[in-house]
Structures are given as structure tokens and as C-alpha cells.
Amino acid sequence: MPLLDVKEIGITFGGLRAVGNFSIQLEPGELVGLIGPNGAGKTTIFNMLTGVYKPTEGEIRISGRLANGKKPYQIVNEGVARTFQNIRLFKNLTVLDNIKTAFHKDMRYSTVEAVLRLPAFWREEAEIDRKARELLGLFNMEEDADTIAANMPYGKQRKLEICRALATSPQMLFLDEPAAGMNPQETRELMNTIHFIRDKFKVAILLIEHDMSLVMGICERLVVIDYGMIIAKGKPEEIKTNKKVIEAYLGS
Ligand SMILES: Nc1ncnc2c1ncn2[C@@H]1O[C@H](COP(=O)(O)OP(=O)(O)OP(=O)(O)O)[C@@H](O)[C@H]1O
């Protein structure tokens, strides 16, 4: 059974069909790119897959369970994490605290134990601290633990956002234009980071990206959309020479 099984989903905003007949399957550990010109509907698809929008047509199944109409936090509990086109971090918190907030989804102590600062609370807080530092360590960011997120260079903020998404122990990770605003050096590092994540965490990754060198370089297969509809699917080398894809990009 695929991890993600999307059948013919679509959404209409005020009479305008932004996305239609969109289908995709993701198997564990796959690295797939979702590409298309500006305004093609990529973020709208992510928003449907993560519970921000409810599709007006079709069916989304995560690990076989119907996910249409679930709220974003329920989708996180189904093992899906995402990052955003515009980085969303708690800018005034430290790097470590940004990660810890994500781990708190799994906390088991009760409100009473937390308010009264009972041992169960401290034990679990110490464990979250340890796990957050360990995760930062995997991304070579342990020395940034006490830095305020907003004071980090752009590339590192992106990395932190991905790192925080992983703290929810997802099976699937959706990255919305992770290379946006990055310089070529940061983009190269990001490619390595994405490969590392897939191999280390065994997550399936769905990646929206405008940077063609990035998607072509790391994705095993690509889905191309234009005006809300799939126009091509295939391996990067097939997509590169696909006439419809070339026309869609030249025309945008
Ligand atoms: N909440 C909404 N209400 C009305 N229209 C919307 C809404 N969300 C998205 N759209 C429309 O859906 C279409 C697809 O937008 P979307 O942001 O998904 O494209 P995109 O492929 O992610 O573009 P980009 O690459 O520029 O980020 C656009 O025409 C947009 O105006």
C-alpha cells in the first residue's frame, strides 16, 4: 500500500478551478519533485495534502486512511510534516527552542504535572532537550542552539525549519520551495541535506521547487503541473525533453 495515495483531487475557489484531477502516489523513502510554472497550483496541492484546504473533489489516503477534511494537526499526527515557501519559525526563540516546540507534540505529562513541575514533567523536559540537541547535531547546528532564530543566516533558517519538521517523526516530508532565496552555495548544501534526510530518516520527500538544477539533480521522478492539471510525469531526463513541459515553461 502506498504511503500517500491521492486520487483525482481538485479544488475550486469562487468558481475558478485552481487544481483538477491531481493524482499521485508516494512510496516509503521516495524523493519526488512537483514542478510547474508560477501559479500552476503547486502550493494549493500541498495545502490540500496537509489539511489547510479541503479538496472539493477526489480522495487523499495516508497509509490507507482517508485524510480528506482532516485538520493540519491531525495530518501531522498521520506522519506528515511540511515546510513553507516563506520560512515559518518562531523568530524570537532560540534555535533549540524552535526544535523543542515540535517535540512537545509527543509529550506525555499532564497539565497538572506541568503546572506543579512534578518529576514526570522534568524527566520529559530533559528528554526533549536531549533529543532536540541530538537532532541539531545531525545537522551540524549544535553550536547554534542558543542563537535567536531571526539572527541566523537565511540558509540556516531554512535548514532549521526542515530540522523542526523532522522533530515530529514524519514518514513523509513536503518541502515547499526550500531553495527559494538561497545562493548557489546554499542550494548545493541543501541538495546534500535533502539526500541526507531521506537516507538517515527514511522519509518520503515531495519537493516543490523552481530551481531546475536542484530538482533534476536529486529527484527520482517528477510530476509537472500547469494551470492546475498534470501535464507530464516521469524521470528527470524524460521531463527535460518533454515538449509540453518546455512549452509550459517558455510560455510562463
Ligand atoms: N485561497 C485561495 N483563494 C482563491 N484562489 C486561490 C487560493 N489559493 C490559491 N488560489 C489560486 O490558485 C492558483 C494556484 O496558486 P498556487 O499558489 O498554488 O500556485 P503555485 O504553483 O504554488 O505558484 P508559485 O510557484 O508562484 O508559488 C492561483 O491562481 C491562485 O490565485
14 belongs to a structural domain: no
Tell me what pLDDT residue 182 has.
85
Ligand 1: residue of 13, 174, 207 to mutate (most ligand atoms within 8 A of CB) is 13
Answer with the residue of higher pLDDT: 192 or 23: 23
- Domain check: are 99 and 215 in the same one? no
Q: What percent of the chain has pLDDT over 70?
A: 92
Helix (H) or strand (E) run with residue 34 in it: strand 31-35
Q: Which residue has the higher pLDDT, 61 or 210?
A: 61
Total structural domains within the chain: 2
Q: What is the pLDDT of residue 212?
A: 75
The residue nearest atom 12 of ligand 1, judged by CA position, is 18
For 16, list phi and psi in degrees, rounded to 5: -100, 125
Which residue owns the Cα nearest ligand 1 atom 31?
39
In-domain check, residue 59: no
User: Which pLDDT band holds residue 181 (cuts at 50, 70, 90)?
Assistant: confident
Same domain, 123 and 241: no
Q: Distance from the CA of 222 to the center of ligand 1, in angstroms? A: 20
> What's the domain range around 202?
28-53+64-91+154-250
Q: 81 and 70, same structural domain?
A: yes
As given in the structure block, the three cell numbers for residue 149 are 532564530
Distance 219 CA to ligand 1 centre (A): 23
Residue 210 sits in the same domain as residue 196: yes
Q: Tell me if 18 is assigned to some domain.
A: no
- In which band, very low, low, confident or very high, does the pLDDT at 116 lie, cut at 50, 70 and 90? low
User: CA-to-CA distance for 14 and 147, rounded, in angstroms?
Assistant: 44
How confident is the model over 189-217, as a mean pLDDT?
A: 88
Residues 17-51 pLDDT 10s: 999 999 999 999 999 999 999 899 999 999 999 99
Q: Looking at the structure, tell me whether residues 45 and 87 fall in a common domain.
A: yes
Output the domain CATH number for residue 44. Answer: 3.40.50.300
Q: Mean pLDDT for the chain?
A: 90
d(CA 116, CA 107): 16
Domain boundary (147, 167, 184) is at: 147
In angstroms, how far is CA 218 from the centroid of its own chain? 15
Domain boundary among 110, 125, 147: 147
Residue 112 binned pLDDT confidence (cut-offs 50, 70, 90): low
Q: Does 87 share its domain with 99?
A: no
> Does 175 share its domain with 205?
yes
The answer to whether position 2 is within a domain reads no
Spacing, Cα 141 to ligand 1 middle (Å): 34
Q: Is the pLDDT of residue 252 over 60?
A: no
Domain membership of residue 109 (yes or no) is: yes
Is 5 part of any domain? no
Question: Has residue 159 been placed in a domain?
Answer: yes
Q: 78 with 173, same domain? A: yes
Helices (H), the chain: 42-49, 72-77, 95-103, 111-115, 119-138, 154-166, 184-201, 212-218, 236-240, 243-250
Q: How many CB atoms lie within 10 A of CB 123?
A: 13
Last residue of a domain, one of 129, 147, 165: 147
Looking at ligand 1, which atom is closest to the CA of residue 228? 14
> Which pLDDT does position 94 carry in this prediction?
96
Same domain for 166 and 219, yes or no, is: yes
Task: Find the mean pLDDT for residues 169-193.
Answer: 90
Phi-psi region of 64 (alpha: psi -120 to 50; beta: other; left: phi over 0): left
Ligand 1: residues within 6 Å at CB?
Answer: 13, 18, 36, 38-44
At 180, the pLDDT band (50, 70, 90 cuts) reads confident
Lowest mean pLDDT among 57-66, 99-108, 149-158: 99-108
Alpha-carbon distance values, 223 to 9, 100, 226 (Å): 15, 34, 10
**With bands split at pLDDT 50, 70 and 90, how would you rate the model's confidence at 118?**
low
At residue 216, the 3 state secondary structure works out as helix
Residues 158 and 229 in one domain: yes
Residue 204 has pLDDT above 80, yes or no: yes
Q: So what's the pLDDT on residue 210? A: 78
Query: 65: phi > 0 → left, psi -120 to 50 → alpha, else beta; which?
Result: beta
Centroid of ligand 1 to alpha carbon of 144 (angstroms): 35
Q: Whose grid coordinates read 514518514?
A: 171
Least confident of 171-175, 208-212, 224-228: 208-212
Q: Which ligand 1 atom sits nearest the alpha carbon of residue 210?
A: 25
Q: How far is the CA of 39 from the centre of ligand 1 (A)?
A: 5
In a domain, 19, yes or no: no
Residues 80 and 121 in one domain: no
The yes-or-no verdict on residue 120 having pLDDT over 70 is: no
Contacts of 202 (CB under 8 A, 6+ apart): 28, 29
Q: How far, in Å, is the centroid of ligand 1 from the Cα of 165? A: 23
Phi, psi of 223 (to 5 degrees): -120, 125
Report ipTM for this prediction. 0.93
Both 128 and 238 in a single domain? no
How confident is the model over 220-248, as a mean pLDDT? Answer: 94
User: Mean of the pLDDT values across residues 214-225?
Assistant: 91
